[in-house]
Chains A and B, each alone.
Chain A
Amino acid sequence: MVSPTIDLVIEFALMLAIGAAMAILFLFISHLLAPKSKNPNKDQPYECGVVPESDARAPMNVHYYLVAVLFVLFDLEAVFIYPWAISLRELGTSALVEMFVFIVILLVGYFYAWKKGVFEWE
């Protein structure tokens, strides 16, 4: 008799393994069946049919990188909210007030970011 946890792990492992196997199988079959032809003209990045003027690895301006930082913040916040949400009924009103305070504090930073124009294109 295996414990339910182990059971779950096995099931997930099975699911992931079959999923991965399928992906690899698709790629492999395609690799086997596909015709191959070499042509130097083909070995160029797609740039609307002309020879690229510059490499795509050149440094470029990535906007919205602050959004990525904010994403980390809000996802962490979500990590706090999840357990609260699930045990809301046991924790009662005091927890709601605490959560309210927590979100208000969070919103201060959020509005600061808003004012700073993080959500604009620069």
Chain B
Amino acid sequence: MPDTAWHIIEVVVMLLLPLLMAGGLTVVERRLLGQLQDRYGPNRVGVMGEMQVLADAVKLLGKEDWIPPFADRPVFVAAPAIILMSVLASFAVIPLTSGFAVADLNVGLLFFLAMSSLGVYSVALAGWSSRSKYPLLGGLRAAAQLLGYEVFMGMSLLGVVMMAGSFDLSTIVEGQRGLWYVGPQFVGFVVFFIAGLAETRRTPFDLPEAESELVAGYHAEYSAMKFGIFYVGEYLGITLVSALMTVLFFGGWLGPILPGWTWFLLKTSILILVVIVVRAALPRVRYDQLMSFGWKVMLPLTLINLLVTAAVILAT
């Protein structure tokens, strides 16, 4: 059955590609931050330090897999698994190129939102189940932060949905043949970018781990590969958000001459680099500032964007 084989290829590609990108990102981020900060970053393993991923993986596998005796054992183990599963499953709806998506769901966007809500559980449960104070504070921060930003993350995408008239990501990409949605939906893009940073717990919204305040926050008690999964999960999250921004606002695989998937990967990579540069540039916001910014600024902004977009669409 060639159809089934094709499906399996799709699944394997959409699982391995993000994992490879996330693995590579761990090095790319450190190297790039190094360059931006006038230092080297990891440059010893391999030619340019690119084999650092392997070295890190081997190191993490060789570390003691410590489950704290005071922790809530099943939840403690399940938390990292949830984050990996939810993020990887989200990639099922991302169209790599025309017709190449694991599941061309007609509610693809909703599926992504549902999966990203699952991510909240992972972080909040990790913090709670550790039964330790720093992780607990980190988990509480994560719960409030991710819930708050979840609300307008979903609504910021509605402008795009209205313009494309569909939740299907492939249809949304096709709708951008004339003009990328980043133009008409610039407000939506900015809001989604900020919400994406918050959802992936990246600087300036890295409060759940905030190393200068909560040491390592929600994963302070994690070691070995369980920590590694959180680590990779963060980069998977960045890859996912960047891929989604590519699809929703930057015309996905659309582009001249080169085949579609190269355009997709190129745009995604550029967005990922932007996320890393943001980390190099900005300090961390405070917890209450984060909450009031999200609820007082971003939420009204999305609602206005929503109504204005609807009015403009109906007027034209």
- A residues with a Cβ closer than 8 A to B are 7-8, 10-12, 14-16, 18-20, 22-24, 26-27, 29-31, 33-37, 42-48, 52, 55-57, 60, 62, 64, 67-68, 70-71, 74-75, 78, 81-82, 85-89, 92-93, 96, 99-100, 103, 107, 110, 114, 118-121
| A34–B66 alpha-carbon span in the complex (Å) | 9
How distant is the Cα of A36 from the Cα of B65 in the complex, in angstroms?
8
**Considering the chains assembled together, what is the distance between the CA atoms of A27 and B295 in angstroms?**
37
Q: Do the beta carbons of A20 and B68 come within 8 Å of each other? A: no
The reply to whether the CB of B190 lies closer than 8 angstroms to some CB of chain A is no
Contact of A15 among B92, B221, B288 (CB under 8 A): B92
Contact B166 A86 (CB under 8 A): yes
B230 to chain A, nearest CB (A): 11
A96 in contact with B310 (CB, 8 Å): yes
Q: Residue B88 at the A interface, CB < 8 A? A: yes
- 6 A–B pairs (Cβ distance < 8 Å), ordered by A: A11-B103, A26-B84, A27-B77, A45-B68, A57-B131, A93-B314
Given A11-B11, A46-B221, are A89 and B313 also a contact pair (CB < 8 Å)? Answer: yes
A85 pairs with B148, CB closer than 8 A: no
Q: Is the CB of B307 within 8 A of A88?
A: no
Name which residue of chain A comes closest to B15, CB basis.
A18
Interface residues in B, total, Cβ within 8 A = 74
Q: Tell me if B265 is interfacial: C-beta within 8 Å of chain A.
A: no
List the B side residues contacting A81 at CB < 8 Å: 155, 158, 306
Total CB contacts across the A-B interface at under 8 A: 193
Question: B140 near A: Cβ within 8 Å?
Answer: yes
| A8 and chain B: residue at smallest CB distance | B103
> In whole angstroms, how far apart are the Cα atoms of A83 and B243 in the complex?
24
* Residue in B66, B133, B220 whose beta carbon sits within 8 Å of that of A42 in the complex: B66
Known: A15-B92, A33-B61. 19 other contacts (CB 8 A): A8-B103, A11-B102, A14-B7, A15-B88, A26-B228, A30-B65, A35-B64, A42-B66, A46-B215, A68-B143, A68-B144, A68-B147, A74-B151, A78-B151, A93-B314, A96-B307, A96-B310, A96-B311, A120-B292
- The one of A16, A31, A46, A68 in contact with B85, judged by C-beta atoms closer than 8 angstroms, is A16
Asked if B291 is at the interface of the complex by the 8 Å CB criterion, the answer is yes
Q: B-side interface residues toward A, CB under 8 Å?
A: 7-8, 10-11, 14-15, 19, 60-66, 68-70, 77, 80-81, 84-85, 88-89, 91-92, 102-103, 105, 110, 130-136, 140, 143-144, 147-148, 150-151, 154-155, 158, 161-162, 165-167, 215, 220-221, 224-226, 228-229, 287-288, 291-292, 295-296, 299, 303, 306-307, 310-311, 313-314
**Bound Cα distance from A100 to B105, whole angstroms:** 29
Secondary structure of the B contact surface, majority rule: helix
Query: Closest CB of chain B to A58's CB: distance in Å?
Result: 9
Interface class of chain A by DSSP: helix
Bound state CA distance, A24 and B151, in angstroms?
31
Complex-state Cα separation, A84 to B206, whole angstroms: 34
Q: How far is the CA of A75 from the CA of B306 in the complex (A)?
A: 15
Chain B residues with CB under 8 Å of A68's CB are 143-144, 147
CB A37 to nearest CB in B, in angstroms, measures 7
Choose from A26, A64, A88, A119 the contact partner of B314 (Cβ within 8 Å).
A88
8 Å CB contact of B103 from A12, A86, A119: A12
Within 8 Å CB of B228, what residues of A? 26, 30
List chain B residues, Cβ under 8 A from A114: 295-296
* A29 vs B71: C-alpha distance when bound (angstroms): 21
Residues in B whose Cβ lies below 8 Å from that of A11 = 7, 10-11, 92, 102-103
Q: A34 near B61 (CB under 8 angstroms)?
A: yes
A6 to B311, CA, bound (A): 38
> Of the candidates A7, A23, A82, which one forms a contact with B84 in the assembled complex, judged by CB atoms under 8 Å apart?
A23
B68: A residues at CB distance < 8 A: 43, 45
Closest to B61 in A: A33
Partner among B19, B70, B162 whose Cβ is within 8 Å of the Cβ of A45: B70
Q: How far is the CB of B129 from chain A (nearest CB, A)?
A: 10
**A46's contact among B132, B144, B161, B287, by CB below 8 Å, is which?**
B132
**Nearest Cβ on chain A to B126's Cβ, whole angstroms:** 13
